[in-house]
Amino acid sequence: MASATPQRTEMEGVDGGVGLTALLVAAARAIETHHDDSLVQDVYAEHFVRAAPVCADWPVRIEQAPDGEDNPLWGRFARYFGLRTRVLDDFLLRSVRTNTRQVVLLGAGLDTRAFRLDWPSDLTVFEIDRSGVLAFKRQVLTDLSAAPRVKRVPVPVDLRADWVTPLTTAGFDPSAPSVWLAEGLLFYLPSSAETYLIDTVDTLTTGGSALAFEAKLEKDLLAYRGSAIYTATREQIGIDLLDLFDLGPRPDSAGDLTARGWSTSMHTPFDFTLRHGRGPLPEPNDALEGNRWVFAHKPRP
C-alpha cells in the first residue's frame, strides 16, 4: 500500500498551486479507471490521491462523489481528463512505432505512462518536473513496488530554469527522433515562456519527431469564472484554476510550428468524445470550449 504520510520534502510541490492540479488529474484518472467503460486504466492514480493529506478525502470512484456523474467536477471534468489521457496515450504509442525511442514529458507531474503503457522495450522516457513532485511520485510508486516497463529517467528541474542542460546530461540525444508531450502545462506559462518552450523543442528535435500539447484559444478566460467546472473546482477542493492560469495574450504555437515546417493539426476535445463515445459534450458557458489539443510532426529530411 502507498504510504499515507510521505516525508515533507517529498510533499513539496504537491501541496499547492500547479502541484494540486496534478493530484486533481490523478483523481480523475482513478475515477476513469473504475468506470466499466473506462478509456484509461491507471492503477496507480488513486494511491497518489490517498498519499497526499491535502486530498486524502477526494473521491477516486464516481460513487464517492456528491451527485455522481452529475457533479461538474468529478463527473464532467473528470471525464475530460480521462479522455485527454487516452487521446495522448494513443498519440504517444503511435509516434514510437517508427523507431523513435525517446519520449520527453514536459511538466510530467504524476504521469504514470512509463509504468502502464505497452512501449517498445528499448525506449527511454524522460520526465521533467520539479524535484518535489518527482520525489513524491517516487515514494508512492516505491511503496507500491511498481516497476517501469521501460527505462525511465526523472529530470528534476523547474521548466522556468535551464532544463535543456539537465535533459541532455541525463542522456537525451537531440540528433535522434523524439516524441514530446506538454499535457496541461502551457496554460500556466506566460506567453514568453510558452514561446521559449516551443522554440526549444524545435531546436532539440530532428526530422521524424513529434509533439503534442494542449492550448487555449485567445479569449477572455475570466468570462468563464462562473462556469460550472471552475465554480465546482473552487468550492469542492479549493483550487481556483483561473488564479493559476496565465491570463495574458497567448502565442499561436501551432502556427509557429507550421511556419517552421512542422505539420500540425488542432482538435477540440469534443471531436474525440464523438470518436470514443465517452467524454464531455458542449454546454452553455462552457469552460472547455476554448481548449484545443494540438498534434505536430516534424518531417524527415
What DSSP element (H or E) covers 211? Answer: strand 210-216
User: For residue 1, is it within any domain?
Assistant: no
| pLDDT at residue number 143 | 97
- Dihedral sign for Cα 32, 36, 38, 42, please: positive
Q: Are 143 and 119 in contact (CB under 8 A)?
A: no
User: For residue 3, is it within any domain?
Assistant: no
Segment 148-155 shows an average pLDDT of: 98
| pLDDT at residue number 16 | 57
Reference 169, options 178, 185, 156; nearest CA is: 156
Q: Which amino acid is at 228?
A: A
Instruction: Give the model confidence (pLDDT) of 155-200 as tens digits.
Output: 999 998 999 999 999 999 999 999 999 999 998 999 999 999 999 9
User: For residue 109, is it within any domain?
Assistant: yes
User: For residue 263, is it within any domain?
Assistant: yes
Q: Are 66 and 235 in contact (CB under 8 A)?
A: no
Q: Say how far residue 49 (Cα) sits from the centre of its chain.
A: 16
- How far apart are the C-alpha atoms of 147 and 169, rounded to whole Å? 23
Segment 69-76 shows an average pLDDT of: 96
What DSSP element (H or E) covers 255? Answer: helix 253-259
Q: What percent of the chain has pLDDT over 90?
A: 84
For residue 214, what is the domain's CATH number?
3.40.50.150
Number of structural domains (the chain) is 1
Strands 291-297 and 210-216: antiparallel
| pLDDT at residue number 9 | 36
Q: Which amino acid is at 286?
A: D
What residue numbers bound the domain in which 24 lies?
8-297
| pLDDT at residue number 13 | 54
- How far apart are the C-alpha atoms of 99 and 68, rounded to whole Å? 43
User: For residue 2, is it within any domain?
Assistant: no
- How far apart are the C-alpha atoms of 191 and 197, rounded to whole Å? 10
User: For residue 167, is it within any domain?
Assistant: yes
The dihedral over CA atoms of 270, 274, 278, 282, expressed in degrees to the nearest 10, equals 40
Q: Where do we find the cell 518531417?
A: 299
Segment 137-164 shows an average pLDDT of: 96
User: For residue 213, is it within any domain?
Assistant: yes
User: For residue 119, is it within any domain?
Assistant: yes
Question: Does pLDDT of 103 surpass 70?
Answer: yes
pLDDT interval class at 1 (50, 70, 90): very low
Q: Say how far residue 79 (Cα) sits from the centre of its chain.
A: 14
